[in-house]
Amino acid sequence: MSDMAKNLILWVVIAVVLMSVFQGYSPSSSTKQKMDYSTFLDNVKDGQVNTATVKSDQRTIEGTTRTGEKFVTVMPLPDLDLINELNRKGITFKGEEAEESGFLTQIFISWFPMLLLIGVWIFFMRQMQGGGGKGAMSFGKSKAKLMSEDQIKTTFGDVAGCDEAKEDVKELVDYLKEPTKFQKLGGRIPTGVLLVGPPGTGKTLLAKAIAGESKVPFFTISGSDFVEMFVGVGASRVRDMFEQAKKSAPCIIFIDEIDAVGRQRGAGVGGGHDEREQTLNQMLVEMDGFEGNEGIIVIAATNRPDVLDAALLRPGRFDRQVVVGLPDVRGREQILKVHMRKVPLADGVKASVIARGTPGFSGADLANLVNEAALFAARNSRRVVGMEEFESAKDKIMMGAERRTMVMSEEEKEMTAYHEAGHAIVGCLVPEHDPVHKVTIIPRGRALGVTFFLPEADAISQSRRKLESQISVAYGGRIAEDLIYGSEKVSTGASQDIKYATSIARNMVTQWGFSEKLGPVLYAEDENEVFLGRSMGKSQHMSDDTARVIDTEVKLLIDANYGRAHTFLTENMDILHSMKDALMKYETIDSNQISDLMARREVRMPAEWEKDLESDDSDNNDTSSEKTEEIKEVKEDKPDVNDVDESPAK
């Protein structure tokens, strides 16, 4: 029976008792008129009383008047002369026993407020003791949701792209299925497993797969569910959660975003008496205290392991840290195949090609990519999802959504084209830089134009030459504007480029040891904030002279790469004009067209344009001559670097 049904029955019983009490107490007074004793004596003297009945308590008198009305009166004191007066007036009178129920009823009525108070107190106590935290007053009960073994359908087959992490946690499944195998050799399964990794890499999905494979009860809760405004509630919920888990052992407790409650104690300001720290202390005790928690495995997930308390990470609590990192190209291919099962695919879709073009994507990003591609196909009334939709979805995620409704003047459009062409040309000429994949002057996101570079492989580390090339490419857009329009008309469009280049140069000098004058020494400031918990102030790591040398080295590094980009663009001014013309005409150019421009060849038409022209030509065979002339006209209008005016910049 549910708690709501129990509460309803309780209130119905209280209502029935009240009705019976009042009905049993009020009948005598509802049909008889109450009369003062002095009025009764006057009526007796006037002969208005017909009959009278004296109760055995000699205080209560009931009777009727000559008119037939019933009355009741109470003598304030025993009156022995009343009998003689009734005889003189010829009034019929008799005696009766007093009703015992009236006395009991009066006792019950007098005690009823106290009984009602006790009943209300019992009701609220039952609410506070309601299991699972479902009662109205169950502040201290755990909010963990219990999922039985039949409810979890996720298995390791649904988790892709993290083979190493799956191998680390498969031991948990084996232990939960066959614990004696490990106990025979004196082995002890880890009490807790901490899943660490960037957002969207599948930490929660991996925990569900562990529960689905091991077929045990699965308690899931978020770290924020423990903390409330009332001190002590979080600790009570931790105790209740582990008590419930002990009843269902062997089982798994999954705490998502544990950094919400497991941050370092004594962080910055404040003492150790706040609600969060009490909750953390209780969790430490429950995981590894005097009482053992045999058969309970705690799995927690976070993307901020650096802020967790050291006592939480020690062996005996979270014995093992499993890193769920970003997938490599093979992992991305596997993840894409998992998500592509849910959508109808065209014949030419290859997950391997998409995986190579999405470096740095997490599992959530890839799921979003497949979903966006399906939305593009539905928007275009397609029945299947093809590579074109996947390419559009990838561009939207990487470069931002197109803002074709944004109105740009021809002058702003031309300046944007020169700016993006400067990035692309320098990117093609500097060593070890990622290849240019696509250049567009269609506003995307918050940018007026985007030059997108696609790595050929997943980058693990970067060389000094590649970092310097990135600085040169970052300044390519600003240098192009300066060469074409002069320093007086340079726009603010390079603000993010300058910030990015300066950040790389400063890290090269202060963190990565790429300065010959300063050497391989760490000069970076301590950037730990107060809430991370180590100190309120920042310690000084360098002298003023050293800071001055750092600024000088950063400036020299930027000037050198700025000058290199300036030289490349000055020597290839014809390509800069040609790429601007191509961008003004097509708005977006791909790697094939960029290769044509850099080789000073005739620029090919975009693949989409060629496809549209071919489809139009096949649909209109009767007007093939007219369509041929249109194609010829379009091709003749394509920019050719040989026809570019090589006059000096204005």
**Is 140 marked as binding a ligand?**
no
Backbone Cα Rg of the chain: 43
Alpha-carbon torsion 482, 571, 430, 596, what sign? positive
> At which residue do the structure tokens 């004596």 appear?
41
CA of 202: how far to CAs of 161, 195, 206, 501, in Å? 9, 10, 6, 33
DSSP-derived letter for residue 320 is E
**Is 200 marked as binding a ligand?**
yes
CA-CA distance, 611 to 525, in Å (whole number)? 55
**Is 570 marked as binding a ligand?**
no
**Is 497 marked as binding a ligand?**
yes
**Is 331 marked as binding a ligand?**
no
**Is 201 marked as binding a ligand?**
yes
CA-CA distance, 479 to 473, in Å (whole number)? 10
Helical (H) or strand (E) element with 134? none
Concerning whether 99 is annotated as a catalytic residue, the answer is no
Alpha-carbon torsion 145, 149, 150, 154, what sign? positive
Taking the chain, what is the end-to-end CA distance rounded to the nearest angstrom?
A: 86
> At which residue do the structure tokens 């030289």 appear?
567
> At which residue do the structure tokens 């979003």 appear?
368
- Which one is catalytic: 213, 286, 372, 420? 420
**Is 546 marked as binding a ligand?**
no
**Is 53 marked as binding a ligand?**
no
**Is 325 marked as binding a ligand?**
no
Q: Helices 410-429 & 544-571, crossing angle to 10 degrees?
A: 100
Neighbours of 281 (CB within 10 A): 17
**Is 643 marked as binding a ligand?**
no
Bridge partners of 94, per DSSP, are: 53
Can you list the pairs that 450-457 forms with residues at least 24 positions away whose Cβ atoms lie under 8 Å?
450/399, 450/400, 450/420, 451/420, 451/423, 451/424, 451/427, 451/477, 452/395, 452/398, 452/399, 453/427, 454/357, 454/359, 455/359, 457/329, 457/359
**Does residue 403 contact residue 375 with C-beta atoms inside 8 Å?**
no
Question: What does the DSSP assignment read for 508-573?
Answer: HHHTS---TTT-S---------GGGTS-SS----S-HHHHHHHHHHHHHHHHHHHHHHHHHHHHTH
b/e for 246-255, b at 16 or more Cβ within 10 A?
eebebbbbbb
**Is 204 marked as binding a ligand?**
yes
Q: Is 266 helix (H, G, I), strand (E, B) or coil?
A: coil
Residues annotated within a binding site for Zn(2+) = 419, 423, 497
Residues annotated within a binding site for ATP = 197-204
Catalytic positions: 420
Residues annotated within a binding site = 197-204, 419, 423, 497
